[in-house]
Structure formats: structure tokens, C-alpha cells
């Protein structure tokens, strides 16, 4: 299952961005179940899960940066 990366912009709602990340993470739960159980397909599921988790961590870092920028813009007013 391919996970589409989330595109970020300051104009978008941060909540929407986070919800997309969460939805992508929920999409890999089956892959993680395969890896944990060692069931059929676990060897190919592991790289897919790791890739999705790495993408999520990058996307969360981007959201964190946007939150900080918005916070700082409020303080400057």
C-alpha cells in the first residue's frame, strides 16, 4: 500500500495536515500486523512500514515548524 506524501503550506489548516498524516499511519497498520505476526508477506511489509513511518516523521517535523512559525507570528503582533 503506497502512502501519498502530504503537501504542506502555511495557508492550509494545521489540523487538516495532521489528520492526513494520521490517516496515512492508520493505513500501514495492516503492514505492521504482518511484521509482528511474521505472517505471509512480512518481509515485504517491513520496508513499506518503515518508509511510511519515515515519511510521517518528516511530515510531522514540517507541521511542528509551521506551528512554531504561526506562534512566533502571533507574538510579533
| Residues 47-56: tens digit of each pLDDT | 999 999 999 9
Q: What is the pTM of this model?
A: 0.76
pLDDT of residue 2: 55
Q: Pick from 60, 65, 66, 64: which is nearest to 25 by CA? A: 60
Q: Are 7 and 58 in contact (CB under 8 A)?
A: no
Amino acid at each position: 500500500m503506497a502512502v501519498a506524501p502530504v503537501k504542506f503550506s502555511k495557508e492550509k489548516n494545521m489540523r487538516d495536515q495532521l489528520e492526513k498524516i494520521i490517516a496515512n499511519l492508520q493505513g500501514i497498520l495492516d503492514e505492521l500486523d504482518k511484521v509482528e505476526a511474521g505472517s505471509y508477506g512480512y518481509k515485504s511489509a517491513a520496508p513499506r512500514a518503515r518508509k511510511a513511518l519515515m515519511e510521517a516523521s518528516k511530515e510531522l517535523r514540517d507541521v511542528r515548524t509551521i506551528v512554531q512559525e504561526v506562534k512566533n507570528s502571533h507574538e510579533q503582533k
